[in-house]
């Protein structure tokens, strides 16, 4: 099973920048997209290649949202039930649950951190419930760099959204519940591997970035992880795609 995840920072904008050609080059079974910023009826393009597209759009138009394109017909589809921002989309693919997630940003001066931590707790409980039924694959923009190796400038970002002690601790709690960061499983010491760069000060060109896009799997799936990659060569967003190959 080959899976791709990408925060496109606006799907309509990404479609104008070669999104379909980029994702079809992966020939993936499922493509999980975050920050769609659109409603299903606004999608006027056909992805082709046999993909069926499922949506969880935010109530607020032009904001947040997730979508998953799949060539594996899901047994069931569930939208996250504890917010109205379209942040969670779960497909039952038979042997696994595939959870596409766009975690809330804690914003400047950590103004939204209390909401973020409450959301994290509820999301963790949700994943534990799914994991009790069958193995889970979680992918998306989790809006946190877990360790100092996961961003270019850790020393100056300890109080920044996405690298606060509280957010990093919440991510650690999720891993402690029985989930594995697949990229670090296969690349424990890989530095300079980032999935998001600011649009300012030529950050992407200089590779001054953060790794905040992930594939996590239930621990019992770890032996099935064949490859976990980041694809900075693919442009069209301030994030790049990440991918996972599973031997199932």
The residues carrying an active-site annotation are 102, 141
Residues β-bridged to residue 34: 7, 66
* Residue 11 three-state SS: helix
User: Which pair of tokens denotes residue 158?
Assistant: 């300890």
Cβ within 8 Å of residue 243, ≥6 positions away: 2, 3, 4, 5, 26, 28, 215, 227, 228, 229, 231
- Give CA angle at 157 (153, 163), nearest 5°: 105
**What CA–CA distance (Å, rounded) separates 39 from 95?**
29
From 96, 58, 56, select the one nearest 79 (Cα to Cα): 56
164: left (phi over 0), alpha (psi -120 to 50) or beta: beta
CB burial of residue 15 (10 Å; 0-12, 13-18, 19+): middle
Cβ within 8 Å of residue 129, ≥6 positions away: none
């Amino acid at each position: 099973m080959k899976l791709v995840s990408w925060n496109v920072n606006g799907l309509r904008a990404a479609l104008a920048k070669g999104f379909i050609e980029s994702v079809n080059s992966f020939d993936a079974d499922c493509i999980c997209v975050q920050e769609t910023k659109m409603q299903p009826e606004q999608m006027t393009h056909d992805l082709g290649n046999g993909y069926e597209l499922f949506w969880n759009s935010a109530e607020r138009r032009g904001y947040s949202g997730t979508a998953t394109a799949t060539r594996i017909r899901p047994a069931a589809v569930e939208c996250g039930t504890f917010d109205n921002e379209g942040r969670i989309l779960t497909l039952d693919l038979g042997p696994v649950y595939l959870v596409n997630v766009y975690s809330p940003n804690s914003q400047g001066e950590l103004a939204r951190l209390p909401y973020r931590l409450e959301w994290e707790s509820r999301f963790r409980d949700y994943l534990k419930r799914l994991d009790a039924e069958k193995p889970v694959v979680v992918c998306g923009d989790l809006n946190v760099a877990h360790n100092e190796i996961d961003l270019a400038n850790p020393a100056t970002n300890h109080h920044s959204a996405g690298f606060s002690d509280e957010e990093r601790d919440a991510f650690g709690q999720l891993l402690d519940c029985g989930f594995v960061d697949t990229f670090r499983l296969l690349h424990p010491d890989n530095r300079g591997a980032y999935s998001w760069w600011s649009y300012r000060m030529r950050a992407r060109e200089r590779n001054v970035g953060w790794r905040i896009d992930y594939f996590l799997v239930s621990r019992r799936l770890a032996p099935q992880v064949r490859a976990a990659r980041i694809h900075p060569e693919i442009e069209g967003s301030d994030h790049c795609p990440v991918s996972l190959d599973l031997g199932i």
